[in-house]
């Protein structure tokens, strides 16, 4: 095979891109959520989304890790009580960078119907949240939609450090 | 430490040595609140001697939602929404306990069709709750496949919920005085199809687990609870029926006409985790039986009591009747006020006795609402059941106790 | 009142919404529960507390705090409610954890939520709230908390205790 021929083939076999784009692409399609269920939303957001009806595996996120050290994404599924808040923050701190947070449901986002002494009025008071999902509980489709929004965000972020 | 250890009866044929096996110290292990096998945010402090459990102390409250306080701040009819969310695996059954309590205090009774629909919803919920239990306990004990089968069928129940109430999980379907809406013809068709196929599906789960050697190994003779201990510790639901006590509130203190259906209480005598599994499987079959009968003889008529003081008038009356408009306005600004007094009503949920104790002081908001949570009481029995077992067996014991932390912490 | 043959110490009894109840003095809780247990009420359903602070519409109860024990006879299926009034300035009651085992956690919860001390309880610590929490949330003079919601009817009273408290 001559060098000229090889050069012709290059266009078919080599893709030029930026490092940021390829890293973002890789990260976005292998977001591993922490297997961390809190309340009602855990049934819809983790179990049914991973179940046969919705299959989060289509988006590369079926690998739910029991250890925060192996996960990229924390889905805060449900209300966070005052007693759970320090625990949740510790789990977040244990996750390696880069990491993302989806606040699932009304309770995690704002406290929801539980406007009282026991519930943290929004998980964004203790961890930075990337995507909020409304609903009580949101449907699994909403969770998949949030995941796709997050994927766009991850792709755009590339290798740039988190702001 | 070992001299004061409480004696525990074990299943026949199982001996667990009670002496300290290793010469070393007792190791205290923290377990949770974030742990994939604790069914939520349960935390356990376990004293281990080698791998043998010497003491278990459950620490709860990580999902304390202040539901009882919240109910005091809401009007009577608004409280229904909050009851959905304490035991989040059986929302209509929670609604039912609250609705029956308010109805009993006010001296009203829901019409026959509403009673039939309540039975249908509570049995569907029981199946859905047992399916989540079966799927998640299966995963915890190493059987991944069962999870997919269970969720496949639970999805159908959620579709049924959505068809009848408009929402998948927290339906708020049953409310004081009746139910939210009548069943649509499509709901009845879907339910019919579901009832037809469900016995075959339950057989599928049984094919996967009942004779599965790993499943048997991990559950049989684990977490033994004798009948006396079950009564003494106040266990209810599959916990007490798995120990051979045929106690089911649907039979023993019937509500919504459960006494008129032809079904049996699921009981197993062995008292171990495997027996509790068999009880739940049997209960699903019985629930399907009740669903079939409830569907076949669902009476016609209204689904709400004809009492404008409790429930709003029909939408079309608002355009023509001034009185209806006033009732509507009064109901949604002030609400209704049951007479002063207190009442306790218990219903059977997937986990056991789900009770609602309400105190009214005659105003439009409750003075006190207390939920008697089955998980809260059953969890205390875990302390007793886990003694002397290996640490890995604790997963099976917590799993088959089927605690929902939202229920325990409220 | 056929089911009930208590020897002494019944302050009042009656039937409300189809359920029987008796009221006993605080000093006699343990004796009453032991006696009822031997009479067949072997199943303990729950125990809780009701705060009667400032009841505007009903007759004032003898004391502010009321303990309610719900017992059940599993053979006759009868239920009985035992009421005990506990004064506000001396919130103590004897523990019943050795009579009915499930009372253990219920008493911890009542301590946590209402601040009633159960004497003789082996481990009377907070169960639902964090250990460093101040106050007893289910008392009526404890604010509901949370955040104020604009344009809601309870906006004004949401954060503060009712004026009569």
Nearest-by-Cβ selection for A118 from B41, B65, B152:
B65
A5 touching chain C per CB within 8 A: no
Q: How far is A121 from chain C (nearest CA, A)?
A: 7
The two three-digit tokens of residue B160, written as one number: 């049924």
Residues of A in contact with C147 (CB under 8 A): 111, 115, 121
Q: Over chain C, what HEC string results? A: CCCCCCCCCCCEEEEECCEEEEECCHHHHHHHHHHHHHCCCCEEEEEEEEECCCCCCCCCCCCCEEEEEEEECCCCCCEEEEEEEECCCCCEEECCCCCCCCHHHHHHHHHHHHCCEEECCCCCCCCCCCCCCCCCCCCCCCCCCCCCCCCCCCCCCCCCCCCCC
The two three-digit tokens of residue B15, written as one number: 């001996």
Q: What is the rounded CA–CA span in Å between residue B177 and residue B157? A: 24
Residues of B in contact with A134 (CB under 8 A): none
Q: How far is B41 from chain A (nearest CA, A)?
A: 6
| Contact between A52 and B148 using a beta-carbon 8 Å cutoff | yes
B15 pLDDT tier (thresholds 50, 70, 90): very low
pLDDT reported for residue A66: 84
Instruction: For Cα atoms B355, B357, B362, give the angle at the middle one, nearest 5 degrees.
Output: 150
pLDDT reported for residue C10: 79
Task: Judge residue B7's burial from the number of C-beta atoms within 10 Å of its C-beta, 0-12 exposed, 13-18 middle, 19 or more buried.
Answer: exposed
Within chain B, what is the greatest distance between any pair of CA atoms?
Answer: 85
How much is the average pLDDT of B169-185?
Answer: 89
B11 pLDDT tier (thresholds 50, 70, 90): very low
Enter the pTM of the model: 0.89
| Contact between A51 and B155 using a beta-carbon 8 Å cutoff | yes
Please list the ranges in chain A whose pLDDT falls under 70: 1, 162-163
Residues of B in contact with C43 (CB under 8 A): 231, 234
B14 pLDDT tier (thresholds 50, 70, 90): very low
Q: How far is B178 from chain A (nearest CA, A)?
A: 23
Within chain A, what is the greatest distance between any pair of CA atoms?
Answer: 76
Q: Is the per-residue pLDDT at B407 higher than 50?
A: yes
Residues of B in contact with C57 (CB under 8 A): 340, 361-363
| Contact between B69 and C138 using a beta-carbon 8 Å cutoff | yes
How much is the average pLDDT of B309-324?
Answer: 84
How much is the average pLDDT of C83-96?
Answer: 90
Report the percent of chain C where pLDDT is more than 90: 9
- Write the pLDDT tens digit of every residue in B329-348: 888 888 888 888 889 999 99
Q: What is the rounded CA–CA span in Å between residue A24 and residue B6? A: 58
| Contact between B252 and C77 using a beta-carbon 8 Å cutoff | yes
* Per-residue exposure over A112-151, b if at least 16 CB sit within 10 Å of its own CB, e if not: bbbbbbbbbbbbbeebebbbbbebbbbbbebbbebbeebb
| Contact between C146 and A82 using a beta-carbon 8 Å cutoff | no
B124 pLDDT tier (thresholds 50, 70, 90): very high
Preferred mutation among C14, C46, C71 to probe B, highest tally of B CBs within 10 A: C46
pLDDT reported for residue B8: 44
State whether the Cα torsion B133-B134-B136-B137 is positive or negative.
Answer: positive
Q: What is the rounded CA–CA span in Å between residue B369 and residue B380? A: 22
What residues contact residue B296 under an 8 Å CB cut-off, 6+ apart?
Answer: none
Q: Is the per-residue pLDDT at B21 higher than 60?
A: no
Residues of B in contact with A51 (CB under 8 A): 147-148, 151-152, 154-155
| Contact between B63 and A81 using a beta-carbon 8 Å cutoff | yes
Question: Residue A2: which region, alpha, beta or left (left: phi > 0; alpha: psi -120 to 50)?
Answer: beta
pLDDT reported for residue C165: 43
Could you tell me which residues are beta bridge partners of residue B164?
A: none
Q: How far is C138 from chain B (nearest CA, A)?
A: 6
Residues of B in contact with C154 (CB under 8 A): 73
How much is the average pLDDT of B306-328?
Answer: 84
Q: How far is A31 from chain B (nearest CA, A)?
A: 18
91-110 of C, contacting A, C-beta below 8 A: none
Q: How far is C146 from chain A (nearest CA, A)?
A: 4
48-107 of A, contacting B, C-beta below 8 A: 48, 51-53, 66, 68, 78-79, 81-84, 87, 91
Residues of B in contact with A79 (CB under 8 A): 63, 65
Q: Tell me the average pLDDT of chain B.
A: 86
- E strands, B270-351, in order: 341-349
| Contact between B234 and C101 using a beta-carbon 8 Å cutoff | yes
The two three-digit tokens of residue A81, written as one number: 């009580």
| Contact between A53 and B155 using a beta-carbon 8 Å cutoff | yes
Residues of C in contact with A115 (CB under 8 A): 144-147, 149, 158
Q: Is the per-residue pLDDT at B86 higher than 50?
A: yes
Q: How far is C135 from chain A (nearest CA, A)?
A: 11
Residues of C in contact with B410 (CB under 8 A): 128
| Contact between C105 and B105 using a beta-carbon 8 Å cutoff | no
Residues of C in contact with B353 (CB under 8 A): 45
| Contact between C137 and A115 using a beta-carbon 8 Å cutoff | no
C18 touching chain A per CB within 8 A: no
* DSSP3 helix / strand / coil % (chain B, rounded to 5): 50, 10, 40
pLDDT reported for residue C158: 47
Residues in chain B: 410
Preferred mutation among B231, B233, B368 to probe C, highest tally of C CBs within 10 A: B368
Q: Tell me the average pLDDT of chain C.
A: 82
Nearest-by-Cβ selection for C129 from A83, A111, A121:
A83
Q: Hey, is B54 helix, strand or coil?
A: strand
Q: How far is A103 from chain B (nearest CA, A)?
A: 16
CA A45, distance to chain mean position in Å, is 11
How much is the average pLDDT of C124-144?
Answer: 87
Residues of B in contact with C77 (CB under 8 A): 252-253
Residues of A in contact with B61 (CB under 8 A): 81, 83
| Contact between A52 and B85 using a beta-carbon 8 Å cutoff | no
pLDDT reported for residue B393: 87
* Per-residue exposure over B100-138, b if at least 16 CB sit within 10 Å of its own CB, e if not: bbbbbbbebebbbbbbbbbbbbbbbbbbbbbbbbbbbbb
According to the per-residue pLDDT averaged within each range, which of B114-123, B334-343, B383-392 is highest?
Answer: B114-123
B23 pLDDT tier (thresholds 50, 70, 90): low
Which chains touch C (3+ CB pairs under 8 A)?
A, B
Q: What is the dihedral of CA B59, B62, B67, B72, to 10 degrees?
A: 80
Which segment of B64-73, C87-96, C145-154 scores lowest on mean pLDDT? C145-154
């Amino acid at each position: 095979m001559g060098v000229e021929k090889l050069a012709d083939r290059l266009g078919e076999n080599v893709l030029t891109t930026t490092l940021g784009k390829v890293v973002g692409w890789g990260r976005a399609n292998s977001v591993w959520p922490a297997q961390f269920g809190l309340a009602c939303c855990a049934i819809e957001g983790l179990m049914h989304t991973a179940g046969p009806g919705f299959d989060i595996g289509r988006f590369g996120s079926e690998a739910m890790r029991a250890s925060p050290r192996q996960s990229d994404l924390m889905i805060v599924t449900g209300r966070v009580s005052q007693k759970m808040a320090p625990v949740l923050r510790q789990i977040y701190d244990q996750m390696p960078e880069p990491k993302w947070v989806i606040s699932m449901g009304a309770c995690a986002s704002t406290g929801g119907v539980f406007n009282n002494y026991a519930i943290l009025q929004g998980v964004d008071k203790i961890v930075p949240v990337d995507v909020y999902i409304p609903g009580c509980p949101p449907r699994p489709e909403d969770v998949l939609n949030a995941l796709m929004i997050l994927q766009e965000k991850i792709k755009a972020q590339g290798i740039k450090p988190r702001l | 430490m070992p001299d004061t250890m409480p004696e525990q009866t074990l299943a026949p044929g199982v001996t667990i040595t009670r002496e300290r096996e290793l010469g070393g110290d007792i190791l205290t292990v923290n377990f949770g609140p974030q742990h994939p096998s604790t069914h939520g945010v349960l935390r356990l402090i376990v004293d281990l001697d080698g791998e043998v459990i010497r003491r278990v102390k459950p620490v709860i409250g990580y999902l304390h939602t202040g539901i009882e306080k919240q109910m005091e701040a809401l009007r009577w009819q608004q409280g229904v929404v909050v009851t959905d969310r304490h035991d989040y695996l059986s929302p209509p059954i929670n609604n039912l306990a609250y609705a029956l309590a308010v109805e009993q205090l006010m001296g009203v009774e829901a019409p026959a069709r509403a009673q039939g629909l309540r039975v249908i919803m509570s049995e569907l919920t029981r199946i859905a709750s047992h399916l989540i239990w079966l799927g998640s306990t299966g995963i915890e004990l190493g059987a991944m496949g069962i999870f997919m089968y269970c969720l496949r069928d639970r999805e159908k129940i959620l579709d049924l919920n959505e068809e009848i109430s408009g929402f998948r999980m927290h339906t708020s379907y049953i409310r004081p005085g009746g139910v939210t809406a009548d069943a649509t013809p499509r709901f009845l068709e879907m339910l019919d199809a579901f009832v037809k196929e469900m016995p075959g599906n339950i057989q599928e789960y049984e094919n996967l687990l009942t004779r599965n050697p790993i499943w048997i190994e991990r559950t049989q003779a684990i977490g033994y609870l004798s009948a006396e201990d079950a009564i003494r510790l106040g266990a209810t639901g599959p916990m007490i029926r798995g120990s051979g006590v045929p106690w089911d509130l649907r039979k023993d203190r019937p509500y919504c006409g459960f006494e008129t259906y032809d079904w049996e209480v699921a009981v197993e005598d062995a008292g171990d985790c495997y027996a509790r599994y068999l009880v739940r499987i049997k209960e699903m079959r019985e629930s399907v039986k009740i669903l079939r009968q409830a569907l076949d003889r669902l009476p016609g008529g209204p689904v709400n009591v004809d009492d404008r003081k409790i429930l709003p008038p029909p939408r079309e009356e608002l355009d023509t009747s001034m009185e209806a408009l006033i009732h509507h306005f009064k109901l949604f600004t002030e609400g209704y006020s049951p007479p002063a007094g207190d009442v306790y009503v218990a219903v059977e949920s997937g986990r056991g006795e789900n009770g609602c104790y309400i105190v009214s002081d005659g105003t439009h908001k409750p003075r006190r609402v207390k939920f008697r949570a089955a998980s809260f009481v059953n969890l205390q029995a875990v302390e007793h059941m886990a003694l002397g077992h290996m640490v890995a067996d604790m997963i099976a014991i917590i799993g088959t106790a089927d605690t929902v932390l939202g229920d325990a912490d409220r | 009142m056929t089911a009930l043959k208590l020897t002494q110490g019944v302050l009042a009894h009656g039937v409300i919404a189809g359920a029987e109840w008796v009221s006993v003095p605080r000093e006699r809780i343990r004796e009453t529960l032991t006696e009822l247990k031997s009479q067949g009420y072997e199943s303990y359903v729950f125990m809780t507390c009701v705060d009667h602070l400032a009841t505007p519409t009903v007759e004032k109860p003898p004391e502010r705090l009321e303990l309610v024990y719900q017992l059940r006879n599993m053979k006759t299926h009868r239920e009985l409610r035992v009421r005990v009034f506990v004064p506000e300035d001396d919130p103590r009651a004897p523990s019943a954890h050795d009579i009915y085992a499930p009372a253990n956690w219920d008493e911890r919860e009542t301590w946590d939520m209402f601040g009633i001390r159960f004497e003789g309880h082996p481990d009377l610590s907070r169960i639902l709230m964090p250990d460093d929490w101040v106050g007893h949330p289910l008392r009526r003079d404890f604010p509901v908390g949370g955040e104020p919601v604009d344009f809601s009817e309870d906006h004004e009273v949401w954060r503060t205790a009712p004026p009569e408290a």
